[in-house]
Chains A and B, each alone.
Chain A
Amino acid sequence: MSPGANLDAPPVLRFTDGIPGFAGAHAFALTDLTDDGTFQMLTSIEDPELSLVVTVPWLFFPDYELDLPEHDRRSLGIESPEDVVVFCSVIAEEVSEGLILNLRAPFVANPHTLAARQVILDDEDIPLRARFGGEA
């Protein structure tokens, strides 16, 4: 066995107020999907059939800026930029193989407490479906 392999159970994020569209699912395991750390998988503890691919938005959109609303920061106990982890859902388009990232409603977690929520940003100019790459 290689040192450090799978010794840690994956972190389980707690979405106490749920995720829109996934009624009843509040706990999601976060696991690495690709070796380079670009993509992760969120898998529901309550319903292991329910999963989402996620990524760090800045890897694809370096100019992405996010203004986390005050009530979301307080709810997650976020006091400084070190207290926050941000990722977005990813959808692979069927034919073009482009990626669609949800930049408007990122998943935001506090890495110390693992409290998490899907935040809808106030800025209406941020796309819910931001396209990256793919053959036209």
Chain B
Amino acid sequence: MLVLSRRIGESIVIGNEVVVRVIDVRGDQVRLGIDAPRDVQIHREEVFLELQKENESAATASVRTRDLVGRMPGRPPSTDDQGGTPGRPVRPRPHPRARPSDD
């Protein structure tokens, strides 16, 4: 691992497009500012590792999950208590395949 010393206000440049600046240091905490292209996602490592593990679990369980939800009756019960529109499924966001009916 490359190790560099920086002072507050100084930066390092990674590749051509990523700049990491030391904003502040207080005790054992360092605040960093990061400039990166929009398509570069930036995560705290511990959260990223947890998500990686969760995604792998979801992929491993996909056959079991597919079989189980295929056997489930209808929609989940939690949507039943939405008064007003009995019998209408709750679809707060359109499905990508749903085309707007403009006529």
Residues of chain A whose beta carbon lies under 8 Å from any beta carbon of chain B: 8, 10-11, 13, 16-17, 19-22, 30, 32-34, 36-41, 50-53, 56, 58-62, 71, 74-75, 82, 84-86, 89-92, 94, 97, 99, 102, 104-105, 109, 111, 114, 117-118, 120, 128-129, 132-133
Contacts and interface: CB of A to CB of B under 8 A. Distances in A.
B76 A52 contact: no
Interface string B52-83: 11111111011011111110101110110010
Contacts of B64: 92, 94
Contacts of A118: 51, 55
A6 to B, nearest CB: 12
A117 to B, nearest CB: 7
B51 A58 contact: no
B17 interface: no
A75 B38 contact: yes
B58 A90 contact: yes
20 contacts: A17-B41, A20-B51, A33-B66, A36-B74, A37-B89, A38-B72, A51-B62, A58-B90, A59-B76, A59-B90, A62-B82, A85-B93, A85-B94, A91-B58, A94-B64, A102-B55, A109-B96, A111-B96, A118-B55, A132-B76
Contact of B58 (A38, A52, A109): A52
Given A33-B69, A52-B59, A111 B40 contact: no
A117 B92 CA distance: 20
Interface of B: 38-41, 43, 47-48, 50-59, 61-62, 64-70, 72, 74-76, 78-79, 82, 89-97
B90 A62 contact: yes
B58 A53 contact: yes
The 10 residue pairs across chains A and B that have the minimum distance between CB atoms: A21-B55, A92-B65, A92-B68, A21-B52, A89-B58, A20-B52, A75-B38, A53-B65, A111-B96, A58-B92
B68 A97 contact: yes
A90 B69 contact: yes
B51 A91 contact: no
Contacts of A133: 76
A56 B69 contact: no
Contacts of B48: 20, 120
A110 to B, nearest CB: 9
